[in-house]
Amino acid sequence: MEETQTNVRLYAFEKLRELAANILLKAGFTPEDARVGSNVLLAADLRGIDSHGVARIPGYLRLLEAGRANATPDIKIVHETPGTGVVDGDKGLGLLSGPYAMKLAMEKAGNVGTGWVAVRNSNHFGIAAYHAMMALEEDMIGVAMTNASPIVSPTFSKSRLLGTNPICFAIPAGKQPPFVMDMATTTAANGKLEILQRKNEKAPLGWMQDKEGRPTDDPCIISKGGALLPLGGDRIHGSHKGYGLGAVVDILSGVLSGANYGPWVPPFVAFLNPLDNLVGEGIGHFFGAIRVDAFRSADEFKKHMDNWITTFRKADTIPGEKEVLIPGDPERITEEKRRKNGIPLLDPVVENLKKIANDFDIPFSF
Amino acid sequence: MEETQTNVRLYAFEKLRELAANILLKAGFTPEDARVGSNVLLAADLRGIDSHGVARIPGYLRLLEAGRANATPDIKIVHETPGTGVVDGDKGLGLLSGPYAMKLAMEKAGNVGTGWVAVRNSNHFGIAAYHAMMALEEDMIGVAMTNASPIVSPTFSKSRLLGTNPICFAIPAGKQPPFVMDMATTTAANGKLEILQRKNEKAPLGWMQDKEGRPTDDPCIISKGGALLPLGGDRIHGSHKGYGLGAVVDILSGVLSGANYGPWVPPFVAFLNPLDNLVGEGIGHFFGAIRVDAFRSADEFKKHMDNWITTFRKADTIPGEKEVLIPGDPERITEEKRRKNGIPLLDPVVENLKKIANDFDIPFSF
């Protein structure tokens, strides 16, 4: 994400979070839910995942207006064992059921070493990293994943059967910042396409195919029946592995929880209707918490993680590159900058928020 | 794996397993360990992962002869909670500590819903799928991963810091065969390079780089200081994701267990010495068992898995492809053929086994 574009204005983090919370309140959220939801959204804006932050508020509101999402969900545990749980999100946003389920996973990890919680009957949960990183504060490894609207084709197929199905691992370190891998299981996340669309640029081959399954560099191909490709891009470069990973995320999030899966995952956009013959409830997520000291002392582990991180960071680089990055480095650096300088928002995003604030009679003062 | 090459002879599965067990016995294994070890090896040969089957016996023997591996390990639990455990492999082969740890994970899953076991002080464990698939018989999802000799460079690096670090998920179904994803976290597994070397063919770009970090199509580049590339191949095609996945496998297998990690993972080949300043003991593995009915009834889950599998299998194909595959399909089809017709072995592999049988005074009768 380039921060140097001159046509992008910066907005103070705290004020933007307050605006998001006020909007959610007016949309019917309880004050506590508005606080949690706005935290999850702003985490995306801070970390540079601009497609998953306040820019997505209008989309969430349309889901609520269409009755596809519930502003006051009664989120509850419907099944549990000492180390596992299934949570029903009551058609609320995953912005809320995510933190609820992650807390439950951490509680269970406290008791038996690890905790794993599947969520059904949910909607989009923001960035996976927010949820997984909750575990870091208690010296746990956090895991978060979700299925999503089907816009990805399995290897050899032209059908859209999977979402970008992200998976995140957040692993604590000692003096070093934590290791945070948060990745779509596709070659490129959908947000990358949006950037190219705005710039009117072509995409690299290996990211997408057209509706006949032919390679394409058209970043608008999804709206023309095309599909994103699993990580690997094509069979010879391992796309069956990206497909397999996306499938595992779909099965743990959807099949294990009792949510929809595959082509039945309801679309995020409110103007597209879910299929008639649904196989589960809403979309699904899967969370895990692994207590480090259920394996070895947390101090020992974190000392070795520091060694792991510094070893990789100082590795020799290929020509043209300055430094080997640790997963989570780019997002952390972006967060540091944006907390200080503000969050860059595109004018259309700001216009949408201004209109919502106006409709809801909320002050919009930047 | 082409089975139709005329210069490859077929060897009966049961006799080959007996030969492998006899060799392990003569190498000092107990009868029970020889049985388990030969089962793990032959599972690779049956499933078409030829690099991990009997072809690897000479390599294991050299590790034992060099004192780098222990034929009679006292494998034991050194730390545990209700849902987790750490196993010390006592320098034995992972062929033995793998099934031991996986059984422990399944026991714990029986008690608290899931079980997770990290193994340190181990050696190569054969194919990940053998271990993960143990869980299927008890309606559990099996997870297996391991770190390995460093021959993979992280994105932007020319240093070799990771192994091909495979990860396997085995997921039970009902009437359909199980879903079994067993993948190296690199674009291509090392075994693929061996095939190209034998055929004297070039590799696709995106699989490897030379010792300066430049793209190369030379399948012998590893022996010249080059490296395999993480799944994705280059940054623009998502290699940072393959790097992140390989790193997670390394951290769960190595850092969490107290084994070596990153560049310190001891080389599989006995003619290369481990580094002096080791950071742990041996190589590390990580196993998980997830009891399906800790989330929803196993019957319900398996019915939906059948639906998942048939939906994906019957999806529309791209031009030139006949069918969408489910992870595990190619290996299962190979196993069916090889159980019936025999296992194809290359002449050099057979010559090596014959020589070992002769040295050990074991009958070699095919």
pLDDT tens readout for residues B253-275: 999 999 999 999 999 999 999 99
Highest mean pLDDT among A191-195, B73-77, B187-191, B345-349: B73-77
- Residues A224, A85 within the same domain: no
What amino acid occupies position A66?
A
- Do B296 and A261 count as a contact with CB atoms less than 8 A apart? no
pTM of the model: 0.97
**Which among B164, B325, B353, B9 is positioned nearest to A161, based on CA atoms?**
B325
Domain limit, last residue, from B177, B197, B228: B228
Q: Quick check: A208 contacting B, CB < 8 Å?
A: no
| Token pair belonging to A170 | 């957040």
Question: At residue B2, does pLDDT exceed 70?
Answer: no
Total tally of structural domains belonging to chain B: 3
CA dihedral A104, A102, B170, B288 (to 10 degrees): -60
Contact A248 B82 (CB under 8 A): no
In a domain, B86, yes or no: yes
pLDDT for the residue numbered B7 = 66
B83–A79 CB contact, under 8 Å: no
- Please give the Cα distance from B143 to B102 (Å, whole number): 9
- CB pair distance less than 8 Å for A296 and B258: yes
One domain for residues A177 and A252 = yes
* Cα–Cα distance measured from residue A118 to residue A131, given in angstroms and rounded to the nearest whole number: 13
Q: Does A243 touch chain B (CB under 8 A)?
A: yes
A238 touches chain B (CB under 8 A): yes
Q: Which domain holds residue B222?
A: 188-228
Find out whether B195 and B207 touch, Cβ atoms under 8 Å: no
A302 shares a domain with A247: yes
In a domain, B140, yes or no: yes
What is the separation, in whole angstroms, between the first and last Cα of chain A? 22
At which of A163, A197, A228 does a domain end?
Answer: A228
Q: Do A308 and B251 touch (CB under 8 A)?
A: yes
Is A205 an 8 Å CB contact of chain B?
Answer: no
Question: Which of helix, strand or coil describes residue A265?
Answer: coil
Report whether B101 contacts B88 (CB < 8 A).
no
A111 and B CB contact within 8 Å: yes
Shortest CA distance from A181: residue in chain B: B244
Does B312 contact A155 at a Cβ distance shorter than 8 Å?
no
Residues B91 and B223 in one domain: no
Residues from chain B that touch A241, judged by Cβ atoms under 8 A, are 181, 183-185, 231
**Per-residue pLDDT at B8:** 81
Q: Are both A98 and A209 inside the same structural domain?
A: no
* CA separation for the pair B118, B288 (Å, rounded): 9
**Per-residue pLDDT tens listing for chain A (366 residues):** 444 454 689 999 999 999 999 999 999 999 999 999 999 999 999 999 999 999 999 999 999 999 999 999 999 999 999 999 999 999 999 999 999 999 999 999 999 999 999 999 999 999 999 999 999 999 999 999 999 999 999 999 999 999 999 999 999 999 999 999 999 999 998 888 988 998 899 999 999 999 999 999 999 999 999 999 999 999 999 999 999 999 999 999 999 999 999 999 999 999 999 999 999 999 999 999 999 999 999 999 999 999 999 999 999 999 999 999 999 999 999 999 999 999 999 999 999 999 999 999 999 988
| Chain A residues within an 8 Å CB radius of B204 | 236-237
The answer to whether B261 contacts chain A (CB < 8 Å) is: yes
Report CB contact under 8 Å: B231, A248: no
Neighbouring residues of B260: CB distance < 8 A, sequence distance ≥ 6 = B147, B254, B266, B274, B278, B279, B280, B281, B282, B283, B284
Q: What is the rounded average pLDDT of the residues B99-116?
A: 98
Does B238 contact A187 at a Cβ distance shorter than 8 Å? Answer: yes
> For residue B337, is it within any domain?
no
pLDDT of res. A366: 84
- The sign of the torsion formed by the CA atoms of A214, A218, A223, A227 equals positive
Same domain, A168 and A309: yes
Both B116 and B240 in a single domain? yes
What residue spans of chain B are helical by DSSP H? 13-26, 31-47, 57-65, 94-112, 128-133, 190-199, 239-250, 298-313, 329-341, 347-360
Q: Is A307 on the interface with B (CB under 8 A)?
A: yes
B334 within domain boundaries: no
Is the confidence at residue B33, as pLDDT, over 50?
Answer: yes
- Give chain B's end-to-end CA distance (angstroms, integer): 22
Q: Using CA atoms, how far apart are residues A181 and A179, in angstroms rounded to an integer?
A: 7
Record: contact B156-A325, CB cut-off 8 A:
yes
* CATH code (residue A203): 3.30.60.50
CB proximity B84 to A under 8 Å: yes
Q: Do B213 and A319 touch (CB under 8 A)?
A: yes
Residue A190: predicted pLDDT: 86
Structure tokens at A135: 């575990």
Which residues in chain A have Cβ-Cβ distances shorter than 8 Å to B257? 295-296
User: Least CA distance to A155: which residue of chain B?
Assistant: B324
In a domain, residue A359? The reply is yes
Q: In angstroms, rounded to a whole number, what is the distance separating the alpha carbons of residues A162 and A165?
A: 7
Q: End of a domain among A205, A228, A251?
A: A228
The distance of B37 to chain A (nearest Cα, Å) reads 26
Chain A CB contacts of B202 below 8 Å: none
Question: What is the pLDDT averaged over residues B186-195?
Answer: 90
**B202 and B290 in one domain?**
no
Q: What is the CATH number of the domain that holds B28?
A: 1.10.1530.10
Residues B143, B41 share a domain: no
Partner-chain contact B156 A312, CB within 8 Å: no
Give, in degrees to the nearest 5, the angle at Cα A90 between A86 and A94: 75
- Cβ distance of A114 and B155 shorter than 8 Å: no
**Is A252 in the same domain as A169?**
yes
Residues A147 and A296 in one domain: yes
Q: What percent of chain B has pLDDT over 90?
A: 95
Residues of A in contact with B153 (CB under 8 A): 315
Rounded Cα–Cα distance for residues B185 and B163 (Å): 9
What residues of chain A, 320 to 349, have a C-beta less than 8 Å from chain B?
321, 323-325, 327
Residues B120, B259 contacting (CB under 8 angstroms)? yes
Contacts of B231 in chain A (CB under 8 A): 231-232, 238, 241-242
Q: With an 8 Å Cβ cutoff, are A258 and B312 in contact?
A: no
Assigned domain for B326 exists: no
pLDDT digits (tens, 9 = 90+) for A32-47: 999 999 999 999 999 9
CATH number at residue A266: 3.30.1370.60
**A–B CB contacts, 8 A cutoff, strictly below:** 271
User: Do B304 and B251 share a structural domain?
Assistant: yes
The Cβ-side half-sphere exposure at A201, using a 13 Å CA radius, reads 10
Please spell the DSSP secondary structure of B259-305, one letter per residue: ---GGGSPPSSTTSPPPSS-SSSSEEEEEEEEEGGGTS-HHHHHHHH
Do the domain assignments include residue B100?
Answer: yes
In-domain check, residue B335: no
Chain A residue at shortest CA distance from B279: A304
